[in-house]
Structure 1
Amino acid sequence: MGATRIMIIGGLGAGKSRLALRLSRILDIPVYCVDEAVHDEKGRLRANSEIDRTVRSWASKHQWIIEGGNSRTYSDRASRATVLVFMKPPRWLRVYRVDIRDKLNFSLLYWSFKYDAMFGVKDEQTLGSAGKDVSTYTIIKNKDVDELLKEL
């Protein structure tokens, strides 16, 4: 498998960052987190045009692991990806992880709970429209992560 450009998508608390870091260590490929493009150093939301420009610049590189949302740039990433991973553990587990990680941040809990209804369709469409040369994976359980890592 030519895992040189890996796109990881999924809801809050799905395990995207953790998987990205594991893959980066194994494959020696840089990780880019979309959340870092969304907010500046002081936590303020950046303009959509700036977010999109940053994520698209990452996607234009030779090697990358880009994890996170910003569905406006999904097609840019998916068109260059060699591997597409959709993290889809059960909603209860994602909400639990967000609760533990973010200490009762109700806004994040809300979006974690609502993710499937709001964005899940776009994630499914992106996975389904991947080219025949793109390896696609849906991660539901830890066992699925283990299988992905073995294939690399």
Structure 2
Amino acid sequence: MIVGGPGSGKTWLARQLGLQYDLPVHAVDDEVWDGNGHLRAPDDIDRRVRQLTAQDKWIIEGGNGRTYSDRVERADAIIRLAPPIWQRLHRVLRRDSLQIELLRWTLRYDRVFGARDCRALQDGSETAICIDIRSNKDMQRLMLAGIAKS
């Protein structure tokens, strides 16, 4: 389970770990939006994410706090990405150009959902490997060492 704000590196890390550990990778955003770019109903989103969580093996990256407890309960590892805000803003600008609402959301993310992401680490700490990534150096260590209980 990988969580963090926009531009934190969730998708990149999920793909890297998926290749490294031969696991299927799923993005919550793919369950939030339909093929035409329309927002799905909350119950539909939750049902879809819970179906992914019910699989034997997975990496699920992204939000949807209503399903955090389901994922925390089944996760072998929980990774929270929280690089500096300037880095996230830079990545969002590079990836999505000048989308003002997404930039605003990036600025607000920690205030709105930061505590929820921290709780996911705390809630899973007895049953899962919990990793808090706050810098490029932390990410390099993870990629070199792999996921192991420290």
TM range (shorter): over 0.9
Q: Please name the residue that 1:4 is paired with.
A: none
Q: TM-score, normalised by structure 2?
A: 0.94
**2:111 matched to 1:117?**
yes
> 2: CA distance between counterparts of 1:31 and 1:88?
20
**2:45 matched to 1:54?**
no
Pick the aligned partner of 1:140 from 128, 134, 138: 134
How many residue pairs are counted as aligned between the two chains? 146
For 1:122-145, what per-residue CA distance to the aligned partner results, in whole angstroms no more than 9, with x for missing partners? Answer: 111111111413100011122212
Pick the aligned partner of 1:39 from 11, 33, 57: 33
Pick the aligned partner of 1:151 from 140, 146, 149: 146
| Corresponding residue SS for 2:124 | coil
Give the deviation of 1:96 after TM superposition: 1.2
Give the deviation of 1:44 after TM superposition: 0.4
Question: Which amino acid letter does the alignment assign opposite residue 57 of structure 1?
Answer: Q
For 1:57-100, what per-residue CA distance to the aligned partner results, in whole angstroms no more than 9, with x for missing partners? Answer: 00000000000000110000000000000000001111111111
Tell me which moved more, 112-121 or 137-146: 137-146
Q: Please name the residue that 1:19 is paired with.
A: 13
- The answer for unaligned runs of 5 or more in structure 2 is none
Q: TM-score, normalised by structure 1?
A: 0.93
Moved over 3 A (4+): none
> 1: CA distance between counterparts of 2:116 and 2:91?
22
Give the deviation of 1:151 after TM superposition: 3.1
Pick the aligned partner of 1:69 from 47, 56, 63: 63
> 1: CA distance between counterparts of 2:125 and 2:14?
21
> 1: CA distance between counterparts of 2:104 and 2:51?
30
Q: Please name the residue that 1:102 is paired with.
A: 96
- The answer for unaligned runs of 5 or more in structure 1 is 1-6
Q: Please name the residue that 2:74 is paired with.
A: 80
